[in-house]
Structure 1
Amino acid sequence: MNDMAGTGASGRNWGPWLDGYFDLYRQALATDGIQDKLVAFHDLAVQVRERKGKLMFAGNGASASIASHGAVDFTKQGRTRAVDFNEPNLITCLSNDFGYENFMAKAVEFYADDGDALVLISVSGKSPNALAAAKYARSRGIKVVSFTGSAADNPLRALSDIDFWIGSRAYNVVEGIHMVWLTTVVDMLVGQAEYAVA
């Protein structure tokens, strides 16, 4: 065993800190009820695919990047048509005309068809634009799937039909786990973990 393992140039032993940090991931992956929620999202995606519908993804900041990744993987690997609302022209147009807090709801209004589902990603679960989109989707009978963190009683979670929640305020950990859960459902749609992507 190397006694210097985990020791940085400053002489700090990062081992204990990294052990604690990775424990945050381990705890999140073992979240109560997570398997049932993964199965529920898988089944919803299959239903959307069978009725020729689509998944609509949206988020802010890093969550927007996760939304884009999810939309591509669900479409390409999962064979479930998906779109995201991260095109700059769309965001700036709708924000300019209706306010940034309404751009996601307006995008859902313009793009949604009956039988679609909306996937919203927000670490805080309090983003006004995500909340407005969830409320609009529910008014249309569109199922809402959310990925949140922070407080258990965050409002986006309460507006969701399927909610993926992590009891953590460590943004990078929450976002990393959100990505793991999203891509897990993609692999469930494929039916295996290892496969050719081209």
Structure 2
Amino acid sequence: MSNIDKAWLDDYFARYKATAFDEAIYEKLQDFHQLCLDVRERGGKLMFAGNGASASISSHGAVDFTKQGRVRAVDFNEANLITCFSNDFGYENWMAKAVEFYADDKDVLVLISVSGRSPNAVAAAKYAKSRGIKVVSFTGSAADNPLRAEADIDFWFESKAYNIVECVHMMWLMAVVDMLVGQAEYAVT
């Protein structure tokens, strides 16, 4: 029998309820939805990147925005790309170099980092901004994180609980995919 009681679970899920479902996020979700519609209309693409679990969320996002949302999307989570660019340009620069090589002016960069302090993600955001490419960030932890400061649209979740922040980031991303589809339940084939 588990030694985790109902009170522990109530507290755990209350962390989600506190911010994830706050109506204050609706405007940003609507802004990101409109940005995606603009990207689709002008023939651009979304470029996703993150580290660790955020890389997995990036990959999932790129697939669903492409297939379900009909907004072309790519992610930079190919091992050959990461190791080549890290080896040649330094780990802190590999994402910025990926943006340099893959971005077109009509694209949008989506960066996911719980801490918002990953040097490679911050460098990518700064590079994208220097090219006039819009940046959308998904962060957590401290409100004053540098990645959030670089974003045109920032999704921030007030928590240092990595699993919870990552799940909320995924929820928010998938909400925008479903907004593009226009419904929550639909056939995926």
TM-score, normalising length from structure 1? Answer: 0.94
- Specify every segment of 5 or more residues in structure 2 that has no aligned partner in the other structure, as ranges: none
1:3 alignment counterpart: none
| Residue 25 of structure 1 pairs with residue 16 of structure 2 | yes
1:56 alignment counterpart: 47
Q: What is the rounded CA distance, in whole Å, between the counterparts of 1:63 and 1:132 in structure 2?
A: 16
- Specify every segment of 5 or more residues in structure 1 that has no aligned partner in the other structure, as ranges: 1-8
| SS in structure 2 of the partner of residue 33 of structure 1 | helix
2:115 alignment counterpart: 124
1:192 alignment counterpart: 183
Q: What is the rounded CA distance, in whole Å, between the counterparts of 2:140 and 2:164 in structure 1?
A: 10
Q: What is the rounded CA distance, in whole Å, between the counterparts of 2:37 and 2:87 in structure 1?
A: 36
| SS in structure 2 of the partner of residue 53 of structure 1 | coil
- 1:154 positional shift: 0.5
Alignment of 1:37-186 (within 5 A): 37-186=28-177
Q: Deviation per CA, 1:8-47, whole angstroms, max 9, x where unpaired?
A: x15x351000000000011122346200000000000000
Contact 1:105 1:136 in 2 (8 A): yes
- 1:150 positional shift: 0.4
Report the number of matched residues. Answer: 189
Runs of 4+ in 1 over 2 A off after TM superposition: 30-33
Q: What is the rounded CA distance, in whole Å, between the counterparts of 1:73 and 1:32 in structure 2?
A: 24
Of structures 1 and 2, the larger Rg is shown by 1
Identity level (%) = 75
Q: What is the rounded CA distance, in whole Å, between the counterparts of 1:28 and 1:174 in structure 2?
A: 10
